[in-house]
Amino acid sequence: MNKKFDYLIVGSGLFGSVFAHEAKKKGKTCLVIDKRNHLGGNVYCEKIEDINVHKYGAHIFHTNDKKIWDYVNSLVEFNRYTNSPVANYKGKLYNLPFNMNTFYQLWGVKTPEEAKNKIQEQIQDLNITNPSNLEEQALSLVGKDVYFKLIKGYTEKQWGRKATDLPAFIIKRLPVRFTYDNNYFNDNYQGIPIGGYNKLIDALLDGIETLTDVDYFENREDWNAKADKVVFTGRIDEYFGFKYGKLNYRSLKFETEILATDNFQGNAVVNYTDFETPYTRILEHKHFEFGNQKKTVVTKEYPQEWEEGKEPYYPVNDKDNNDLFDKYKELSKNESNVIFGGRLAEYKYYDMHQVIASALKKASDLI
């Protein structure tokens, strides 16, 4: 393959796929490569028992941006899925996000005034004026009951650290609703692509040359020679040979199993908020698309420390890591023929609509 492309796109996740789609619309040629054996990055779905299984964790599309919503719906039709997770704390169930249903389950209160008074009583009793860590910050926002039952265990599992050892700025605010509303997201638009996210990726990459099972770094110079410019969506520290050291992430481990029942938990997402349960949540994938298959597929999600060989999911955006990223960002400014974009290249946690917006803007600015 000696063909010269306008763009070599390293990584076929949402950023790379949207950029390639926009480039093709403007008459540019693209080659998309990915080190995995499939396209789509972390939104990839694996078909098991005729169910679209979110292989890399739950992906629920939501946005307030009508242009982004219209953009994705021009490619694939979305269903009406609304994310309404349930929290399981030591066998008792509570609605999320924190709303009047939750407060009734906790305290038996029925009016917003009663709920507000209960929370305020608990906050006042604590006498926290200047929170010094995440635990104090959360307690000062929602009081003891909500914190100890629905936040503490989940957070400590997610971060792998005690809440008292985490900085307060991680929780700047906590969404508290004084309505009986279990819709987790406040966004106007929400849903899942009908037929799964692979349909969206296939539509974005339609007519574009793609290769999987390709490690860009094994033959970097050869790949670069195939295109005028490179769009790099991988780890920015890896691109620069870890010159200043490695950026840190949190990772996840998934345990997926097929169950001989048509409905295991009655909800797509159930969070386990006590510390004793080792996983943070169980996904039942068929409920993302209102499936009625005879069997079901569930996934337990275990947060873990990241190390080489594991998937880097969540940037640890503390001061040390952000300072390190800034050094790599400065280096990237010298790469005139390389475009850096996406969660790993920008060391930033993106929701799906945000990474699509970022790719659209980058493509509009540069092509």
Omega before residue 97 within 30° of 0, cis = yes
351 given a catalytic annotation: yes
Report the C-alpha gap between 281 and 268 in whole angstroms.
10
More confident residue, 125 or 112: 112
In a domain, 307, yes or no: no
Residues 160 and 197 in one domain: no
In a domain, 234, yes or no: yes
Residues 339 and 211 in one domain: yes
Residues 219 and 137 in one domain: no
In a domain, 266, yes or no: no
Query: Exactly one of 22, 281, 313, 350 is catalytic; which is it?
Result: 281
Average pLDDT, the chain: 96
Query: Exactly one of 250, 302, 311, 314 is catalytic; which is it?
Result: 250
Residues 67 and 127 in one domain: no
Residues 70 and 215 in one domain: yes
177 given a catalytic annotation: yes
Distances in Å between the Cα of 291 and the Cα atoms of 53, 182, 187, 188, 274 are: 12, 21, 24, 24, 29
Residues 106 and 159 in one domain: yes
This model's pTM is above 0.85: yes
In a domain, 292, yes or no: no
- The 10s digit of each residue's pLDDT in 28-42 is 999 999 999 999 999
Specify the pairing of strand 92-95 against strand 86-89. antiparallel
User: Residue 26 belongs to a domain with what CATH number?
Assistant: 3.40.50.720
Query: Exactly one of 7, 22, 36, 177 is catalytic; which is it?
Result: 177
Residues 160 and 201 in one domain: no
Residues 323 and 231 in one domain: yes
At 171 the pLDDT is 84
In a domain, 87, yes or no: no
- The 10s digit of each residue's pLDDT in 282-331 is 999 999 999 999 999 999 999 999 999 999 999 988 889 999 999 999 99
- Residues 6+ positions from 22 with CB-CB distance below 8 Å: 359, 360, 363, 364, 367
Report the C-alpha gap between 94 and 86 in whole angstroms.
6
Is the dihedral angle over the CA atoms 162, 164, 165, 170 positive or is it negative?
Answer: positive
250 given a catalytic annotation: yes
Query: Exactly one of 301, 313, 346, 347 is catalytic; which is it?
Result: 301
Residues 110 and 200 in one domain: no
In a domain, 90, yes or no: no
- The 10s digit of each residue's pLDDT in 266-277 is 999 999 999 999
Distances in Å between the Cα of 121 and the Cα atoms of 91, 100, 117, 127 are: 26, 17, 6, 11
Write out the residue range of the structural domain in which residue 211 sits: 5-43+61-76+193-248+315-366
Would the pLDDT of 98 be above 70? yes
173 given a catalytic annotation: yes
301 given a catalytic annotation: yes
- The 10s digit of each residue's pLDDT in 39-77 is 999 999 999 999 999 999 999 999 999 999 999 999 999
- The 10s digit of each residue's pLDDT in 356-366 is 999 999 999 98
Query: Exactly one of 80, 173, 218, 308 is catalytic; which is it?
Result: 173
Would the pLDDT of 2 be above 80? no
The count of domains in the chain is: 2
In a domain, 56, yes or no: no
Residues 22 and 65 in one domain: yes
In a domain, 132, yes or no: yes
Residues 142 and 203 in one domain: no
Residues 112 and 229 in one domain: no
At 346 the pLDDT is 97
